[in-house]
Amino acid sequence: MATSNIQLTATAGPLDGLRMLLGALEAASTHFMIVDVSAPTWRIVYVNRAICERYGYAAAELLGRSPEILVCLEQSAQALARAADAVRRGTPVAIELRARHKDQTTFWVGITMTPIESDQAGGRLYLFLAADITARLAQEKRQRELQEQLVREMNERERMANELRLAQKLESVGRLASGIAHEINTPIQYVADSVVFLRSAIADLDVLRTEYRQQLRRLTDGQPLQTTLPALHAMEGKLELEFLQAEIPKAFDRTVEGIERVATIVRAMKEFAHPGGAQQNYADLNHALQTTLTVAGNEYRYHAQVETQFGALPLVNCNIGELNQVFLNLIVNSAHAVVAAGKDATQGRITIVTAAADDEVTVSIGDNGCGIAPDDLDKIFDPFFTTKPVGQGSGQGLAVSRSIVADKHAGRISVRSVLNEGTNFTVHLPIKGVT
């Protein structure tokens, strides 16, 4: 059996430097091993005490043996293939593999293999530096598990937030449904009335046209004009021709106006309800506010006058569908606050002001309603917190609004309120959106 040149030199003479080196290797906690890789079957030519203690072998049991005795082959095939490839090329390599004790229990080690000078017999030698990495891998596994758990929790939180936003939007749609029906029913009703009038007018004009034809035939048969004109005048008076001539154009105008009103409501509802996806695009906030006011008209029309002061705004990078939801929540809350203050449409005021400054735009929605108690100001954005009577609000609106503005658009919502005087919410949004 071949032995290493280190061992031979260590026993051949009193070379203090070499003894110190060997002493250091023996005392080290790092696993040192020198392997002869010149033959197809590699042979261990040196092991330090740390390896012997960790694996449970005496040095004599390892010297001259293949290093595979220390490896769990079935779990380390890929690492061993990398090691063999590096040896063929004569290059260093770092691998991790499953090691095996003498009692066949296993653990993980990290090994750095570095080529060193050949021994006196011409063998090719590699220095193996190894360390037990079982604890490190276990820690990494725990960290991965914690990260995966965190990702799952974040995904669950996002799912719940999406469900909350959807539930709140469905609540808003349900609340608006009757109002939208009323908004559409009114113009449809006077469209219908105008159409009924026009149908009646056309029938009357048809009767008059028949009378004109009959009188025209009498004239062609030789009857004098004096005998036909009284009959025509009588028919015109009976059918109220002058009234028809004045009212028919008005009926057409009312019909066109009603149809346009319905088209405006439907278009606004479509813009308001359009999901728009998760992607942000540049949008006109003033137009979005006007659309929301159209959709929510029935919520405030009988309770407050709306005053708008729309400033010149740049297009804002945002999800306009989500911001429509925010604007609706704030407008409806203002209307409810005015009602709670006991004011009617002649006294209640909702003011909407937009402005741009530096790199952000602001949308302020205020009212002269009942205001918010100081003790409640810190809680109004909490999910399910509401000061409204049971059945009149789920307490999700402001929580969802803040989530949309802060989490989705990197903005913020500020609030000022004086009890029994009114409240003002201001939405601050970066023009360039989330960066």
- 90 contacts: CB under 8 Å, gap ≥ 6: 115, 124
In a domain, 293, yes or no: yes
How far is Cα 353 from Cα 368, in angstroms, rounded to an integer?
Answer: 15
- pLDDT (tens digit, 9 = 90+) per residue, 332-362? 899 999 999 999 888 999 999 999 988 999 9
Residue 74 scores a pLDDT above 80? yes
pTM of the entire predicted model:
0.52
In a domain, 120, yes or no: yes
Question: In the listed set 246, 272, 298, which residue is the last one of a domain according to the structure?
Answer: 272
**Arithmetic mean of pLDDT, 179-197:** 79
How far is Cα 18 from Cα 7, in angstroms, rounded to an integer?
Answer: 10
**CATH code of the domain covering residue 330:** 3.30.565.10
Vertex 48 angle, CA 45 and 52, to 5°? 100
Same domain, 299 and 429: yes
Strand partners, 32: 129
Question: In the listed set 138, 161, 189, which residue is the last one of a domain according to the structure?
Answer: 138
What pLDDT does residue 354 have? Answer: 96
In a domain, 332, yes or no: yes
Residue 413 scores a pLDDT above 70? yes
What pLDDT does residue 391 have? Answer: 44
Same domain, 183 and 59: no
**Domain range spanning residue 387?**
274-435
In a domain, 291, yes or no: yes
Same domain, 251 and 382: no
- pLDDT (tens digit, 9 = 90+) per residue, 279-335? 788 999 999 999 888 888 888 888 899 999 999 999 999 988 889 889 988 998 999
Total structural domains within the chain: 3
In a domain, 333, yes or no: yes
Residue 139 host element (H or E): helix 134-220
